[in-house]
Structures are given as C-alpha cells and as structure tokens.
Structure 1
Amino acid sequence: MSLTKSLHEGFSARAFSQRVALKGSEPLDRDHGDHLLNPELDALIAANPLRDAAVLVPIVDRGDEASVLLTLRNANMRKHSGQVAFPGGAIDPEDDYEPEKAALREAHEEIGLEGRHVEVIGRLPRYLTTTGYSITPVLGLVHPPFELTPNPAEVADVFEVPLSFLMDPGNHRRESRIWQEKERFYYTMPFGDRFIWGVTAGIIRTLYERLYS
C-alpha cells in the first residue's frame, strides 16, 4: 500500500506517525505563535527575552481512532489556572536543554505518564507567547496500557479528545476579545464541557496546518 493512500485511512496513530514522517523534512525555523493572528504583538514578543519551554503533544494509540491527551490545570495555579493545557513547562539544565527530555519529564511530574510508554516522533515549530515563552511542542505516540497519577497541585483532571475532532477545521473557531485596549484574536475548540483556547488551541491549529490542511 502506498504512503499517500495510507495517509487517508483515517486518524489512527499509525496514520498520524506517517504524516509526521512525510512532513519531517519541512523546516522548523518559522516560528508560530500569538503574533500570527495578531501581527501587532510582534514588537511585544520581541521586546522581552523568551524562556525556553516544551510541551508534550501526546497522541494516544486507540486503534483506528487516536486521541489527544490533555490536562485541566488546577484552579489554584498562579498562571493559566483552570485552563486546558498540554503537559509541559520550562526547559531546565537537568534536561540538557533538550525539549524532548523536558516534555517527558514534565509529563511524568504532572500526570505520572512514564516515558517508556511514549515514542517521540517529531516536533512542531516553536510557539511564541506574549507571556514570555518560546514553546517547543514535542510529538509523541502514547502506547497503552498505561496508568496516570495526576499531581493534584497542578492538574485537576486529565482527559482525551479524538484526534479527528481536533483536526477538523470546522471545530476551530476564531474569536476575539479586547486586551490592552486592542482586539486580540485567538482560536477556540470547545469540546463538550471543555473549553480549549489560547496557546493550547494555537498549538493544535499549528498541528492541523502542518499535517492536515
């Protein structure tokens, strides 16, 4: 069976992995981020040094229908409380400044996902934020069976969303709100009682544009 044909078999983890392999030769040097929908934020992002961070984009192998593992941040968190997020955080010296090591470490610390269950298969372009981070999304296939033990200090819940739902542009809403007296645009992807927006939705949109559009 040809690679091209197999790419249209649906949303299995295998098909996802093939898409990543096909796009792997494309450059990662074009940064994505809040500034793409809001060009006026370029100056704001450039005005301050950005701290390197990484998130794990966990694609769970559920047979023909892969899913994406997401967390709901604890409502008591100092930043981005109560928001849907990928497991991740700042890249520390103990990670040898490697995004993959940081993403796997954070996933283990936040939700108890052991690295032996994760097959790292690639990256997305860096995502720059107005909150001062340069985030490298690390793509990983998560192979069941696995157990999760969320850290209650950081994570209120862990849930899965079908990859097919998130890769359907019909589920991507472009919305806006007034921020610092200007209209700021962003994506949202409501799923049941979960409201995915902000950086998380931006990274998901980047995943769609890179692999599925």
Structure 2
Amino acid sequence: MSLMTFTAEDFRRRALEQVGAPLEHAWRDHGDHALNPDTILQYEQLKLRDAAVLIGVIDDPDEARIILTQRTSKLRQHAGQIAFPGGGIDATDTSPEEAALREAEEEIGLDRRFVETVGRLPQYLSGTGFRIQPVLSVVQPGFELTLNPDEVDSVFEVPLSFLMNPSNHRQDSRMWQGSVRHFYVMPYRERHIWGITAGIIRTLYERLYA
C-alpha cells in the first residue's frame, strides 16, 4: 500500500486501463456478490430497474477524495443510508453516464461542468430490485453544492486512500429474507458505510487497486 499514489490522475489512468473480465460479466466476481455466490442466480432472475451512481473522485493534489451522501430518513428505499449520488435511469437519459450526472445535479447540485467521466465498474445487482451502473469520474475542485432536502441529509468526502485500503474493509453478516447474507462494512469517523455502497467500493478496490 505504501508505494501506491492515490491521486485523481492515477485513478483516471486506472479507470481507463482497467483489465479483467468484460464488464457485463464481471459483477459476479466482485464485492459482496463474491461473498454470496448462492444469490447470483436469484438476482439474475429478478425483474430489475436500471439505475446509475456517480463515483466522483475530487482532483485535490493534497488528498483525492470520494463524494458520498447520507440519504434522508424520508425515502422509501435505503432511507438514512450512505450512498453515492445517483438513481433510476430515465427514458430520456441517453446513457448511464447521463443519468449519473443528472442525478448528481438533482440531488446535491454538482454542476456537470466540473465532472469528467472516465469509465465504468461492473454492474451491481441489488436484492432491492436495481441493476446499478457505477460511473467513474474525476471532479475538479471549485464546485459548490446545493442539497435536495427531500433526498439528501448531508454530503461528505472520504479520502480515496482510506477507501482503497483493504484493511478498512470489514466483513459482517445478517439474516435477510430467510438466509445469511455477507457484506462489507467500512466505518469512517462517525459514518457507517455498508450495504450497496460498500459493495461498490469493494468492487472499485478489486477492479482498480488490488
């Protein structure tokens, strides 16, 4: 870990040059999907809604950081959880990138003029009914955020170096829909990063930094 540089420029290079299984098949091998192989067939048979999230790495020469949100407690799904900006892909969206940029503007007021998309991760299939496309991006500093209070309670940033350090990736489990589910947990200060978001972060680590 000590030899790695966690800059936005290095992240951009890794995103553009990532190797491994083709994206459309690779999701089975990563994150908490790999922890729960018995659920893969089950997830593939679900009727899933397409969604996209923006993994935004801020290009700060002192310390590249990832933008995360705390969702409001009023939402129907994933209320109060830590999440990337994002949401459902609309019929008017021309691509997952377009959806992720639009949702980031709507949720936290992140002006897309500051955002450069640089790639994708394998999709994440959720038991709550979504096929999520993570969109990798570099965000230039200088942006100002305006939160949508109906969707987001707060926004915070976590150093890329912290999230890409596997020693910060704990594993936990709980009963869900009648069987044991294993998942990642990444406590950061007073925040509890887990579930879908932690699974995507683990995939980011496995795909670009492992």
Q: Please give the alpha-carbon distance, in whole angstroms, between the structure 1 residues aligned to 2:22 and 2:69.
A: 29
Which aligned pairs between 1:143-182 and structure 2 lie closer than 5 A? 143-182=140-179
Counterparts of residues 191-210 of structure 1 (less than 5 Å): 191-210=188-207
Equivalent residues of 1:11, 1:64 under 8 A apart: no
Matched residue type, 1:123 = R
Contact 2:108 2:146 in 1 (8 A): yes
Cα contact 1:31–1:128 (8 A) shared by 2:
no
Instruction: Give the number of equivalent residue pairs.
Output: 205
Within 1, Cα distance between the matches of 2:38 and 2:193?
A: 24
> In the alignment, which of 112, 122, 126 is matched to residue 123 of structure 2?
126
Q: CA deviation at 1:76?
A: 1.2
Q: Which amino acid aligns with 1:68?
A: I
In the other structure, the counterpart of 1:135 is 132
Label 1:152 to 1:120 Cα distance change in 2 as closer, same or farther (>3 A): same
Match of 1:3 in 2: none
**Kept after mapping to 2: 8 A contact 1:54/1:88:** yes
The alignment partner of 1:81 has SS state of: coil
Indicate yes or no: 2:55 matched with 1:60.
no
1:15 shift after superposition:
1.1
For residues 14-66 of structure 1, the C-alpha deviation after alignment (integer angstroms, 9 at most, x for no partner) is 11111112216862122426542212212331332111110000101111420
- Indicate the RMSD between aligned Cα atoms, in angstroms: 1.5
Percent of aligned pairs with the same residue?
Answer: 56
Which one of the candidate residues 175, 183, 194 is aligned to 1:186?
183
2:20–2:207: 8 Å Cα contact kept in structure 1? no
TM normalised by structure 2 equals: 0.93
- Look up the match of 1:18: 13
State the match for 2:89 in structure 1: 91
Quick check: 1:31–1:127 contact (8 Å CA) kept in 2? Answer: no
- Match of residue 40, structure 2, among 35, 39, 42: 42
Closer, same or farther: CA 99–120 of 1 in aligned 2, 3 Å: same
- In 2, the alpha carbon distance for the partners of 1:49 and 1:162 equals 35
Structure 2 distance, partners of 1:93, 1:21, is 27
1:110 matched residue in structure 2:
107
**2:90 alignment partner AA:** D
> CA–CA distance in 1 between the matches of 2:40 and 2:200?
18
Match of 1:5 in 2: none
Secondary structure (helix, strand or coil) at the match of 1:170 reads helix
Distance 2:174 2:62 in 1: 38
91 and 46 in structure 1: CA distance in 2 versus 1, 3 angstrom threshold: same
Structure 1 unaligned spans of 5+? 1-7
Change (3 A) 1:16 1:53: same
Give me the TM-score of the superposition, normalised by structure 1: 0.92
SS of 2:185 mapped into structure 1: strand
Query: Which stretches of structure 1, 4 residues or more, deviate above 4 A after TM superposition?
Result: none
